[in-house]
Amino acid sequence: MIEEYAFSFSYPNTNGEEVAMNMSRTGSKKNSATFKSNAAEVTPDQMRSSACKMIRTLVSLMRTLDQMPEERTILMKLLYYDDATPEDYEPPFFKGCAENEAVNIWNKNPLKMEVGNVNSKHLVLALKVKSVLDPCDANDANSDDDKMSLGRESDQDDDLSDTEVRPSEVDRYVVAPNDGNCKGQSGTN
């Protein structure tokens, strides 16, 4: 598994004032968070605007990740309410999988990031990203070079993104805003 984008929401109580977010993490650990829905009425335009901002944040994040491999597939996980969904139901274009197929599908620890959420009186939609294409991953055991420098000897592509600066041809290093997030070398995804 290279990347995971998790959208999940559920309504645990009947009055609709609470939305539960459940997501599976690497391995068998489960993490859940409960969000109270927004008491103020949110207009459709405000919802659309919030969703657009969330997608723009996702696109910006994707530009900081390494390039996707040529051969790739998509995996989507749908979870149902056991008491409300027929046992033999499979939506069109999906196939069932065993629990062990849906757990620990990562070949190394992925970068995990919350991209954003859209919150209204009736629902909460959250977007989280997991990716092993993090160019800033200094803990990668398979990497021979833990440095983020793009010096003269580097075999990395040195096309610069709009957050990088080339100080000189002799000393080329990745320079990104100091906001606590490593943005590193970007590729087109």
The answer on pLDDT for 161 being more than 70 is no
pLDDT score at 84: 78
Q: Is residue 113 within 8 Å of residue 124, measured between CB atoms?
A: no
pLDDT digits (tens, 9 = 90+) for 50-107: 888 888 888 888 888 888 888 877 767 676 777 778 888 888 888 777 777 767 677 7
> What pLDDT score was predicted for residue 159?
39
Give residue limits of the domains in the chain.
3-131, 137-189
Tens-digit pLDDT profile for residues 1-58: 666 656 565 555 555 555 555 444 333 344 444 444 544 567 788 888 888 888 888 8
Phi, psi of 6 (to 5 degrees): -110, 115
pTM for this structure?
A: 0.42
**What amino acid is encoded at 11 in this protein?**
Y
- Contact between residue 186 and residue 63 where contact means Cβ atoms under 8 Å apart: yes
116: left (phi over 0), alpha (psi -120 to 50) or beta: left
Spatial separation of the C-alpha atoms in residues 69 and 72, rounded to whole Å: 6
Share of the chain above pLDDT 70, in %: 44
Identify the sign of the CA torsion 178, 141, 23, 88. positive
